[in-house]
Structure 1
Amino acid sequence: MKRDAKRVAYLMNHMEQVDFVGEVVSGVNEGVGEYIIPIEIGSPPIAQHVIMDTGSDLIWVQCQKCQQCHSQFDPIFDPARSSSYTEIPCDSSACDRLNGKQDCDHERSCSYRASYADVSESKGTPVFETIVFGDVRILNMAIGCGYTNKGTFGHQAGIMGLGAGPLSLVYEIPVGGFFSYCLPSRDSQVSGSLVIGKEAISTGSVWVSLLSSIKNPSFYYVRMIGLGVGGIRLPISEDIFHLTELGDGGVIIDSGTTVSRFPKVAYEAFRDAFIAQTMDIPRAPGVDLFDTCFSLPNTIDLPSVSFHFWSDIGEVSLVIPPRNFLVAVDNMGTYCFAFAPSPASFSIIGNIQQEHIKISYDTVGRTLGFGPDLCM
């Protein structure tokens, strides 16, 4: 604990004294598996609800007049009614960061295109605009005004990118590269939090190494080395989780993915070990991408599940509580093992496994902390 307290003191002395604290709510009741952040945009400010995403950088919302827009609960933002709206010019550094100059020669306007793993995308005009996040008003924030948006955004106005790229909210404002979030249960009416600034760091966290990929620079990779069941680390090769110099493989921690996924060899070893220690629990048919489900009685002892990582002090482990690895799929007592095989060589730690854990990011020191349950 002394070492942990010293680390917090060090971090506090090396960051800007600026705090942004906002609310995070589950999107399950609104038809999405991600988490939602309420913000306000423009002058006068208009309420917009956006999906929190650590796997992308740009903040964008749908804008009038849409060429192709999905249905959303909030009124679509109208730039013509905002006195703080300014389009980003072609000769600006912000347009450079967006790689948005391809249309400049013939239209003389910067553009953006944000693409996502599920083939969803948003295209439109990057602008400087005023954003209200929590109790803080941010002037001249570079965001996207989306005119062509298609994919699985539920009924939300857009995306808040918190990724590792230069247009992320974390990098656009002076907070020293520190942020944290605490996700409430997906079926909860209670709010969690997103904190950007000095309050993001707390004592009691387990700190692990953050890695970068030249292939996917916006993603946060953690140095995972294994999986455990029942207090025993499984004999899975660390190479399965290795991030190569070319940017292949690795383990991404992502707020925008719901279910954690591991390469097939690792997933099957993990699943089979869990099944071997739950032979006395009645099985149920698989549901959707879950192939291992159970009919659970009201009270039962379950084996622990753990993730194993490498840190600057050696191997550390994170024990996952049962509510983060068994999810209810109906009202009849059917619960499924909340993991799936990855269709590729990389792994993803999804938001189900992150619930009720304070996840702290030190993007400068390249570490990530798993803290105690502070989401209640």
Structure 2
Amino acid sequence: MMNPNKQQRRNLYFFFVFVFYVFILCARFQTSEATKDSSAQVKLQNRRLSSTVVFPVSGNVYPLGYYYVLLNIGNPPKLFDLDIDTGSDLTWVQCDAPCNGCTKPRAKQYKPNHNTLPCSHILCSGLDLPQDRPCADPEDQCDYEIGYSDHASSIGALVTDEVPLKLANGSIMNLRLTFGCGYDQQNPGPHPPPPTAGILGLGRGKVGLSTQLKSLGITKNVIVHCLSHTGKGFLSIGDELVPSSGVTWTSLATNSPSKNYMAGPAELLFNDKTTGVKGINVVFDSGSSYTYFNAEAYQAILDLIRKDLNGKPLTDTKDDKSLPVCWKGKKPLKSLDEVKKYFKTITLRFGNQKNGQLFQVPPESYLIITEKGRVCLGILNGTEIGLEGYNIIGDISFQGIMVIYDNEKQRIGWISSDCDKLPNVNHDYGGDLSEEAYPIGFGLIKELFSGSDSSKNKNLVSDGEL
């Protein structure tokens, strides 16, 4: 029989051993959980830093003339419809400061609240736009004046405010972003001003939305848009929607005098045959509704199309003033499917002849069926409207393809895509949007053309203080 004292010591020993093992197991479990949590945080952080912002897109080339997204700004947030524009950097909204030339009622204008950016800020100096006056006092507000190639303009001040953005991974981030508060809009052209609240600037400069998100560590500096023929599409900032294969890539021109997306030189082909027009530099501009060629390229394409239509049941007509070159059939046309077989594909070949990158524009991406039932050419003569030697690929030729502006690798790409489908994102965006049609504008800033300088227009507005 065991001694009771000895038995107690033995029980006490086993108790301490048990406690020790429990302690070790708990420590290991906590370490494992801590490691797991830390790993999860790292993965979440990495996912956030490489995530993508996705916007549903609405609009059309004709008769609306633009594609737009909805963006919430402020706290509490207010919804603004903005024309997507890869041809300019600055995002701006109509601003109740008060506002001259605004199309939105005051209730739908942006209201500043002592949140202007000082003119000493790096984003102010990075505008690369003509300024009304130099920065006399570093604490003065940062004024901007931007003119577009269709003679429209906006004057205002840079502000910062909260912009809630939903990422593709499901998280919502309240970011402070910089944009323009436009208190004087001018639209001296023959057409009425656009009904949108402003412009979503996606150009390559420091103040561009994609560049700002990159500098905040939110996304990669990659822009993707996909515009459909049926008035839908999507826009994304970040690289998660870029296909891993099948994309045709060409380099961005590094010697471009602007922050636009220019590629080239390219050769112009019609029906896979050379037109003899070479050395074309092309700007990819989602702010332009139509495609514009210089005089030589435009005339070559127009002559070939007219020659190709000989003997076909289409005749020239001048009774539609919205587009300069149109044809009519025996009866009013309802769809491009009725006539696209009479037209050929136009191609821009970048690079060399054997291994060039082909940007193909089928008939449905350069033709318009108007309300009068005419088929019209959606490629226009840019020289006639002051674009000089510039060539622009606009929304009409982007339909049905995904266009990728890769600022990380200084290249631009494209691939055929179903742009009617929004990629894996909830898009419950409400809002009362005007569907009033307005004619065509250009996203390219005016300073590119004819040596024009929007700062020469001093009569637009007196100095404003927000």
TM-score norm. by structure 2 comes to 0.68
Please report how far the alpha carbon of residue 138 of structure 1 lies from its aligned counterpart in structure 2 after TM superposition. Answer: 4.5
Offset, 1:193: 0.3
Deviations 1:285-325 (A, max 9, x none): 13334324242776452343132232498312233232212
**SS of 1:51 mapped into structure 2:** strand
Shift of 1:224: 4.5
The one of 52, 55, 58 equivalent to 1:19 is 52
CA contact (8 A) 1:290 1:339 kept: no
Q: Distance in 2 between matches of 1:232 and 1:214?
A: 28
Instruction: Determine if the alignment matches structure 1 residue 295 to structure 2 residue 329.
Output: yes
The CA deviation at 1:349 is: 1.0
Query: Structure 1 counterpart of 2:391, which letter?
Result: S
SS at match of 2:342: coil
Q: Does 1:218 align with 2:278?
A: no
Where does residue 35 of structure 1 map in the other structure?
67
Greater radius of gyration (CA): 2
Larger mean Cα displacement after TM superposition, 16-25 or 298-307: 298-307
Conservation of the 8 A alpha-carbon contact between 1:213 and 1:219: no
Partner residue, 1:310: 350
The answer to whether structure 1 residue 374 and structure 2 residue 418 are counterparts is: yes
Are the counterparts in 1 of residues 99 and 182 from structure 2 also a CA contact under 8 Å?
A: no
CA contact (8 A) 1:32 1:153 kept: no
Question: 2:246 aligns to what?
Answer: 204
Match in the other structure for 2:224: 180
Report if the CA contact (8 A) 2:58-2:67 is conserved. yes
Amino acid at match of 2:403: I
Residues 60, 299 of structure 1: alpha-carbon distance in 2 compared, 3 angstrom cutoff? closer
In structure 2, the partner of 1:164 is 204
| CA displacement, residues 215-249 of structure 1 (integer Å, 9 cap, x when unaligned) | 3x22111114222222323222x13x1xxxxxxxx
CA distance in 2, matches of 1:77, 1:262: 37
Question: 3-state SS of the aligned residue for 2:252?
Answer: strand
- 1:337 pairs, out of 373, 377, 380, with 377
1:9 matched residue in structure 2:
none
TM-score w.r.t. the length of structure 1 is 0.83
Alignment-derived partner of residue 63 in structure 1 = 95
Of the three residues 219, 228, 235, the one matched with 1:194 is: 235
Name which of 151, 154, 158 aligns with 2:194: 154
Q: Distance in 1 between matches of 2:316 and 2:206?
A: 46
Distance 1:361 1:199, change over 3 A: same
In structure 2, relative to structure 1, the CA distance for the partners of 1:113 and 1:96 (3 Å cut) is same
Counterpart for residue 263 of structure 1: 294
2:370 and 2:265 map into 1 onto residues whose CA distance is 28
In the alignment, structure 1 residue 90 sits paired with structure 2 residue 119:
yes
Deviations 1:335-361 (A, max 9, x none): 012211121111111110111110011
Q: Distance in 1 between matches of 2:309 and 2:200?
A: 40
Q: Is the contact made by 1:104 and 1:110 (CA closer than 8 Å) also made in structure 2?
A: no
Distance 1:197 1:118 in 2: 30
Larger strand proportion, structure 1 or 2? 1
CA distance in 2, matches of 1:362, 1:155: 30
Partner of 2:303: 272
Query: Is the CA contact (8 Å cut-off) linking 2:87 and 2:201 kept in structure 1?
Result: yes
Higher helix share: 2
Amino acid at match of 2:344: S
Which of 178, 188, 193 lines up with 1:142 in the alignment? 178
Q: Does residue 1:115 correspond to 2:147, yes or no?
A: yes
Distance change >3 Å, CA 271–CA 224, structure 1 → 2: farther
3-state secondary structure, aligned to 2:150: coil
CA distance in 2, matches of 1:28, 1:369: 22
Shift of 1:28: 6.0
Q: How many angstroms does 1:268 deviate by?
A: 1.2
Give the secondary-structure state (helix, strand or coil) at the position aligned to 1:364: coil
Structure 1, unaligned runs of 5 or more: 1-12, 242-249
Alpha-carbon distance in 2 for matches of 1:79, 1:342? 38
1:30-88 deviation per Cα after TM superposition (whole angstroms, max 9, x unaligned) = x74121110000001001101111111011111112241321277112224xxxx7221
Equivalent residues of 1:206, 1:371 under 8 A apart: yes
The RMSD of aligned alpha carbons is 2.7
Alpha-carbon displacement from aligned partner over 1:352-374 (angstroms, at most 9, x marks no partner): 01111100111131211111122
> Where does residue 35 of structure 2 map in the other structure?
none
Percentage of identical aligned residues: 24
Aligned twin of 1:5: none
Please state how far the C-alpha of 1:270 moved relative to its aligned partner.
1.1
Equivalent position SS for 1:353 = helix
Q: Specify the code of the residue in structure 1 equivalent to 2:178.
A: A
Q: What is the total number of aligned residue pairs between the two structures?
A: 343
Q: CA 1:271–1:138 in structure 2 vs 1: closer, same or farther (change >3 Å)?
A: farther
Q: Residue 201 of structure 1: CA displacement?
A: 1.2
Contact map agreement 2:61 2:289 (CA 8 A) in 1: no
User: For residue 363 of structure 1, what is the aligned residue in structure 2?
Assistant: 407
